[in-house]
Structure 1
Amino acid sequence: MVFVLLLSRAHNPAGTALTYSAFLGKVEAGQVRTVDIDDKGSVNGKLKDGRAFTTRIPTALGNTGLAQQLRAKNVDVTASSSEGGSWVGLLAAVLLPLLLLGALFLWTGRQAARTLTGGLSGIGRSRAKIIEAERPTTRFDDVAGYEGVKQEISEIVDFLRHPERYAVVGAQGPRGVLMVGPPGTGKTLIARAVAGEAAVPFLSVTGSAFVEMFVGVGASRVRDLFDEARKRAPSIIFIDEIDAVGSRRGGIRLGGNDEREQTLNQLLAEMDGFDQSSGIVVLAATNRPEALDPALLRPGRFDRHVTVPLPNQAERAAILAVHARGKKPGPDVDWDVVARATPGFSGADLANLLNEAAIHAVRAGNTVISAQDLDDARDRVLLGRRESSNALLPEERQAVAVHESGHALVAALCEHADPVAKVTILPSGPVLGATEQLPEAERHLYTEGYLNDLLAVRLGGRAAELVIFGEGSTGAADDLAGATQIAGRMVRDFGLSPALGPIGYATTGTPHRFGDEAPGEALHRPYSEQTQRLIDEEIARLVRDAEQRATTLLRDHRAALERLAALLTTRETVDGAVVHDVLRRQPAASPDHHESGPEADRS
């Protein structure tokens, strides 16, 4: 309609409409310059002043001598036919909308066909990210530590690059490598380094990308993934979080996940195919190896199992140096000291530590990251944010100072305990104070003496409250829970109870630290109620003996306890050197000091 309107305007130029009598009058007055007359009597013209006009000649009057009048007044006369304009308007009004509708239907049909063929058939296509030409910039040099892991992976890459070297000896390349380790230890980072180092195509996919709501999609995607890898052989397939698709299969049960099992069966079939010289290596990563199906772990599928543990102290220092690239550490920063202060940190934890330190430095108005920024960032990561608004009452502040002084002094007095690094009574997160101990070296075995000292240090805060105030408080709740957990593992797992004997009821899995227990352990006890009663008695005895030992130590060094508590109340934070200095300056204890009970101490 808009096009027809514009066309009509183009064929009927706008102008002033004149009656035929007015038109004749202007002709007689000599005001008309040009006229255009069609076969229907329609007149379009222009006056000598430039204005346009339109009029119609009454054809019923016949020949009235208009031509002689126009010739006499020297008017430029032209003639036109109305048939051409009408046909153009008809074609424009009819054919153009039809053409537009036809183009619209054609485009819609192609989109529907693309959706039908590419969409539905694309559901079964694997969603692997294929890395061939543009490889990641990560290399093995960017992965600090883990030399054994890098050697295992490097052999895989070398086999794919130079298979003839291994064929001479008759060695066959591994079919799969499974990387197992806690979260954040760098399994995916190592895979990116493999993609950067390898001169072969690298297909990366996550385990969750196989399973969809449609039946058979997972198996189809596994087939397509291996087909793509065979087209590019030799190649590497990396499956991150493989436990999402390779979880343990159950027996005959109602409501089982048949789709997940079909996907796993297809993966097993692809990895154990008849073609042993396909040149495809599957690299997988998981932090839950106990959840994987045993068929995946047998030789011929995942031939090598590589453990990626938490980094040791030297590896943590190297990881910190790698993550410090692009940041500005100050001259007082020593990565070895920071690594010693972060036992049990993974690579991801260390990266987060440096980022928190950089944020703290910016908040403080500094342009470089200082050692204090790293120390504050570590406290924030371990303890939480400083609660400046959480003001303690004077008596609570004194109680927290006594409590933390007890932890610090017992740790300094015990032979096997880790050295004290810092004692603070500043509230952070849910805790009101903290005593930080840093091990001198990485421990892999823990002796009975170390565990007994660990129990005494845990109960040092409660013992200090009993010595100074004569009664305990709720501040020792976390310490008691931790001590009970440690004592429970000493009795059940490590056979360190004379009453129970050298019997170990190991928990499921391998905890990384003391105090970590498998969830639901209490629901599956491989012993009787009588044994449980004996275990409870032994746990109570160990905790009670540790409290008695801590109380005796603090009574013998009560002067040092009071002095350290006073320093903490004044300074709020002291380091380990202050604790040892307080112990060295302690005067000799009086003979009757050991006989003073809690009531006398409180008075």
Structure 2
Amino acid sequence: MITAVRLPRRHASRSAKPGPPREPPKPPAAPRAPGWRPWLLPVILVALFVLLLSRAHNPAGTSLTYSAFLGKVDAGQVKTVDIDDKGGVDGQLKDGRKFTTQLPTALGPTGLAQQLRAKNVDITASGSSTGGSWVGPLAVVLLPLVLLGALFLWTGRQAARTLTGGLSGIGRSRAKIIEAERPTTRFDDVAGYEGVKQEIGEVVDFLRHPERYAVVGATGPRGVLMVGPPGTGKTLLARAVAGEAAVPFLSVTGSAFVEMFVGVGASRVRDLFDEARKRAPSIIFIDEIDAVGSRRGGIRLGGNDEREQTLNQLLAEMDGFDQSSGIVVLAATNRPEALDPALLRPGRFDRHVTVPLPNQTERAAILAVHARGKKLAPDVDRSVVARATPGFSGADLANLVNEAAIHAVRAGNTVISARDLDDARDRVLLGRRESSNALLPEERHAVAVHESGHALVAALCEQADPVAKVTILPSGPALGATEQLPEAERHLYTEGYLTDLLTVRLGGRAAELVVFGEGSTGAADDLAGATQIAGRMVRDFGLSPSLGPIGYAAPGALHRLGEEPAGETLHRPYSERTQRLIDEETARLVRQAEQRATALLRDHRPALEHLADLLTTRETIDGTVVQDVLRRWPGTTPEAPVPGPERPPP
């Protein structure tokens, strides 16, 4: 069972104005060689082999036996014969066909001459050819060897071309160079991210007009590092830079430097910067730079010397070129903590630009970009969709719009409606709707009670996010869901909000205890999420009186509640006694949240049962139905706000 409580993450983005007009494009490069030229030599060799083979098998005409030759002479069909001193006969029949035969010289005189004269056959004599007896057989033997050698030579050349220009090209950079023909993406195509576009736009402007900055003594940055979660548009911003810049743009991925051959990565780095110097002023873009710029270790066994050599060469190139040469390195990564400190210092990457997840306003702008070319129904409100998608990245929003379009086509519609977007959001968050997963009647009622408990506790807790929709239709691994939408973007979470969040998480299990007197396996996901949130309250946020104002947050901890920082279980900067105290405080917070949710639902038992009956009948209800049920069955404390659990004395 899933209670979809998506907490928004902070997102800052800005835009830069487009630069001045671009310079006229450079003349196009020389045309490439036609594709048929490499195949010319093999075709000629094969044709020559076939021709010589056919001539070896049939050099002069049809071969006749001596008896057949005599029969044709007797029949008067032979016109001319040419006999050599070895008894070889080349002749022509009266119908024009040529033939060859061999006289049996071992039998001695046979009277063939008289027989030929009697039939008026024109007889000539010639000497045998000294070369004809061995040239043909020798050609038949040697020609296959020659063809085989030529085939191996041609195959080797083709394989060498695939290795980026042969053995001499292994160390060449695999960067994609953009000069005359630039991408169509511009800064206007990137919604939001105003500050990011301004920072990168200044770099482009510096390369175009360095004299404007030289007047006040300013020097341009050597490198700009874009950092952000996956899907936030770092590569899209780089494409926009390539589209806006009037300077050469060299794009390469970090993995393109890594090779099985020692020293190849460093050679490719040198070649990349040499190409940039030839085209200066220019921009080098390295995507996923953590593949080559990972943190170097000390003295250890099993180190990757090739990767470290590549990183050392990159550090030397970034710090070694003349600042007036007009080369700027633009890089992107979603793992800044993995980068080497020497790569992050000023003088290499002077600017670190954060590309975070979009806020609500920016999500609405991003939805407008992805909705271009798609027909939206009048009931679609992009601001409502943006409010319903906290924590979504730009890639998530693009996928959402595409899933909505697919859902509209599946339903036989020609426009995308608000329901299509809502169903697409459920598909992205919860998975595919399992229409064939029929629940047993008692399971259906249990799921309705569980989700009703989540919804009522969320409506009764003062700081909890409002309920948007409750459903008991199975989707993916979830048998039901209670969706809450924040009224505004939150950047700071108070202790009261976190306490209400824990209480809502345990509302489903509390409803099962109130109605059935026992829990079930349906609360497994709720318990796991509540335990993680309570653990971070104690360990990271210092919200435990017993432990005190001490935080053990791991470096680079996630900004989303309910998720453990990576590597937390592998390295704990505290003792076993402290861990025991953390476990006790975590259990206390979760237990108090369950007791609070159980007390709320006992006081509102009629509302809980009525809401469960409505949910069983309708399968899906919205948040207004939950409020109506609470107004009709207000419980024992209808007006007073529900306080959180008391904090024990320190």
| Residue identity opposite 1:9 in structure 2 | N
Do residues 35 (structure 1) and 80 (structure 2) align? yes
Q: Report the CA distance shift for 1:470/1:119 in structure 2 as closer, same or farther (over 3 A).
A: same
What residue is the counterpart of 2:443 in the other structure? 396
- Contact 1:320 1:335 (C-alpha < 8 Å) held by counterparts: yes
**C-alpha displacement at 1:63, in angstroms?**
10
What residue is the counterpart of 1:288 in the other structure? 335
Q: Distance in 2 between matches of 1:52 and 1:102?
A: 32
What residue is the counterpart of 2:38 in the other structure? none
Do residues 429 (structure 1) and 476 (structure 2) align? yes
Q: Report the CA distance shift for 1:143/1:9 in structure 2 as closer, same or farther (over 3 A).
A: same
Aligned counterpart in structure 2 of residue 267 of structure 1, from 309, 314, 317: 314
| Residue identity opposite 1:424 in structure 2 | T
What residue is the counterpart of 1:365 in the other structure? 412
**C-alpha displacement at 1:453, in angstroms?**
1.7
Aligned counterpart in structure 2 of residue 207 of structure 1, from 237, 243, 254: 254
Aligned counterpart in structure 2 of residue 470 of structure 1, from 513, 517, 530: 517
Q: Deviations over 1:290-349 (max 9, x none)?
A: 111111111000000000001111221222222233444434333222211111011122
Aligned counterpart in structure 1 of residue 355 of structure 2, from 296, 308, 318: 308
**C-alpha displacement at 1:558, in angstroms?**
2.2
What residue is the counterpart of 2:202 in the other structure? 155
Do residues 166 (structure 1) and 213 (structure 2) align? yes
| Residue identity opposite 1:456 in structure 2 | T
Q: Which runs of 5+ in 2 are unaligned?
A: 1-48, 639-650
**C-alpha displacement at 1:180, in angstroms?**
0.5
Q: Report the CA distance shift for 1:368/1:90 in structure 2 as closer, same or farther (over 3 A).
A: farther
Do residues 343 (structure 1) and 390 (structure 2) align? yes
Q: Report the CA distance shift for 1:52/1:489 in structure 2 as closer, same or farther (over 3 A).
A: closer
Do residues 551 (structure 1) and 551 (structure 2) align? no
Q: Distance in 1 between matches of 2:101 and 2:443?
A: 106
**C-alpha displacement at 1:43, in angstroms?**
6.4
Q: Distance in 1 between matches of 2:580 and 2:622?
A: 42
- Contact 1:20 1:56 (C-alpha < 8 Å) held by counterparts: no
For residues 124-143 of structure 1, the aligned pairs below 5 Å read: 124-143=171-190
| Residue identity opposite 2:339 in structure 1 | L
For residues 29-428 of structure 1, the aligned pairs below 5 Å read: 34-38=79-83, 42=89, 44-47=91-94, 60=109, 77=122, 81=126, 91-94=135-138, 98=142, 101-102=145-146, 105=149, 108=152, 115=160, 119-428=166-475
Could you say what secondary structure the match of 1:126 adopts? Answer: coil
Could you say what secondary structure the match of 2:397 adopts? Answer: helix
Q: Report the CA distance shift for 1:561/1:98 in structure 2 as closer, same or farther (over 3 A).
A: same
**C-alpha displacement at 1:360, in angstroms?**
2.8
What residue is the counterpart of 2:622 in the other structure? 575
Q: Report the CA distance shift for 1:83/1:403 in structure 2 as closer, same or farther (over 3 A).
A: same
**C-alpha displacement at 1:270, in angstroms?**
0.5
**C-alpha displacement at 1:569, in angstroms?**
0.6
What residue is the counterpart of 1:497 in the other structure? 544
| Residue identity opposite 2:58 in structure 1 | R
- Contact 1:459 1:479 (C-alpha < 8 Å) held by counterparts: yes
**C-alpha displacement at 1:286, in angstroms?**
0.9
Q: Distance in 1 between matches of 2:430 and 2:112?
A: 110
- Contact 2:171 2:265 (C-alpha < 8 Å) held by counterparts: yes
What residue is the counterpart of 1:11 in the other structure? 60
What residue is the counterpart of 1:562 in the other structure? 609
**C-alpha displacement at 1:115, in angstroms?**
4.3
Q: Report the CA distance shift for 1:53/1:426 in structure 2 as closer, same or farther (over 3 A).
A: closer
TM-score, structure 1 as length reference: 0.86
Q: Distance in 1 between matches of 2:296 and 2:172?
A: 24
Q: Distance in 2 between matches of 1:479 and 1:335?
A: 30
Aligned residues with identical type, % of pairs: 77
What residue is the counterpart of 2:642 in the other structure? none
- Contact 1:19 1:55 (C-alpha < 8 Å) held by counterparts: no
Flag the structure with larger Rg: 1
Q: Deviations over 1:85-104 (max 9, x none)?
A: x7567545545865675565
**C-alpha displacement at 1:165, in angstroms?**
1.9
Could you say what secondary structure the match of 1:521 adopts? Answer: coil
58-67 or 285-294, which deviates more: 58-67
What residue is the counterpart of 2:27 in the other structure? none
- Contact 2:611 2:626 (C-alpha < 8 Å) held by counterparts: yes
**C-alpha displacement at 1:20, in angstroms?**
7.6
- Contact 1:8 1:89 (C-alpha < 8 Å) held by counterparts: no
Could you say what secondary structure the match of 2:323 adopts? Answer: coil
What residue is the counterpart of 1:594 in the other structure? none
What residue is the counterpart of 1:509 in the other structure? 556
39-48 or 309-318, which deviates more: 39-48
Q: Report the CA distance shift for 1:152/1:587 in structure 2 as closer, same or farther (over 3 A).
A: closer
Q: Distance in 2 between matches of 1:226 and 1:154?
A: 22
Q: Distance in 2 between matches of 1:328 and 1:437?
A: 28
- Contact 2:222 2:347 (C-alpha < 8 Å) held by counterparts: yes
Q: Distance in 1 between matches of 2:256 and 2:470?
A: 48
Q: Report the CA distance shift for 1:12/1:416 in structure 2 as closer, same or farther (over 3 A).
A: same
| Residue identity opposite 1:450 in structure 2 | Y
**C-alpha displacement at 1:143, in angstroms?**
1.5
Q: Distance in 2 between matches of 1:505 and 1:56?
A: 105
| Residue identity opposite 2:262 in structure 1 | V
- Contact 1:17 1:53 (C-alpha < 8 Å) held by counterparts: no
Q: Distance in 2 between matches of 1:444 and 1:120?
A: 55
What residue is the counterpart of 2:565 in the other structure? 518
Q: Distance in 1 between matches of 2:448 and 2:620?
A: 10
**C-alpha displacement at 1:421, in angstroms?**
0.7
**C-alpha displacement at 1:443, in angstroms?**
0.8
- Contact 2:606 2:635 (C-alpha < 8 Å) held by counterparts: no
Q: Distance in 1 between matches of 2:367 and 2:488?
A: 18
Q: Distance in 2 between matches of 1:386 and 1:68?
A: 102
Q: Report the CA distance shift for 1:80/1:286 in structure 2 as closer, same or farther (over 3 A).
A: farther
TM-score, structure 2 as length reference: 0.80
- Contact 1:246 1:293 (C-alpha < 8 Å) held by counterparts: yes
Q: Deviations over 1:181-202 (max 9, x none)?
A: 1111111111122122222222
What residue is the counterpart of 2:6 in the other structure? none
Q: Distance in 2 between matches of 1:210 and 1:478?
A: 42
Q: Report the CA distance shift for 1:101/1:557 in structure 2 as closer, same or farther (over 3 A).
A: same
**C-alpha displacement at 1:176, in angstroms?**
0.6
- Contact 1:7 1:89 (C-alpha < 8 Å) held by counterparts: no
**C-alpha displacement at 1:474, in angstroms?**
2.8
Q: Distance in 2 between matches of 1:482 and 1:12?
A: 92
Q: Deviations over 1:241-300 (max 9, x none)?
A: 111111111222222222222111111111000522222111111111111111111100
Q: Distance in 2 between matches of 1:78 and 1:137?
A: 85
**C-alpha displacement at 1:70, in angstroms?**
6.4
- Contact 1:18 1:55 (C-alpha < 8 Å) held by counterparts: no
What residue is the counterpart of 2:3 in the other structure? none
Greater RCO (Cα-Cα under 8 Å, separation 6 or more): 2
- Contact 1:245 1:264 (C-alpha < 8 Å) held by counterparts: yes
Q: Deviations over 1:137-175 (max 9, x none)?
A: 222222111111111111111111222222222211111
**C-alpha displacement at 1:68, in angstroms?**
7.5
Q: Report the CA distance shift for 1:544/1:99 in structure 2 as closer, same or farther (over 3 A).
A: closer
Q: Report the CA distance shift for 1:328/1:10 in structure 2 as closer, same or farther (over 3 A).
A: farther
Task: Supply the RMSD in Å over aligned alpha carbons.
Answer: 3.4
What residue is the counterpart of 2:19 in the other structure? none
Q: Report the CA distance shift for 1:293/1:24 in structure 2 as closer, same or farther (over 3 A).
A: closer
Could you say what secondary structure the match of 1:137 adopts? Answer: coil
**C-alpha displacement at 1:502, in angstroms?**
3.4
Q: Distance in 1 between matches of 2:70 and 2:294?
A: 99
Could you say what secondary structure the match of 1:306 adopts? Answer: strand
Q: Report the CA distance shift for 1:68/1:185 in structure 2 as closer, same or farther (over 3 A).
A: closer
- Paired residues in the alignment total 581
**C-alpha displacement at 1:590, in angstroms?**
11
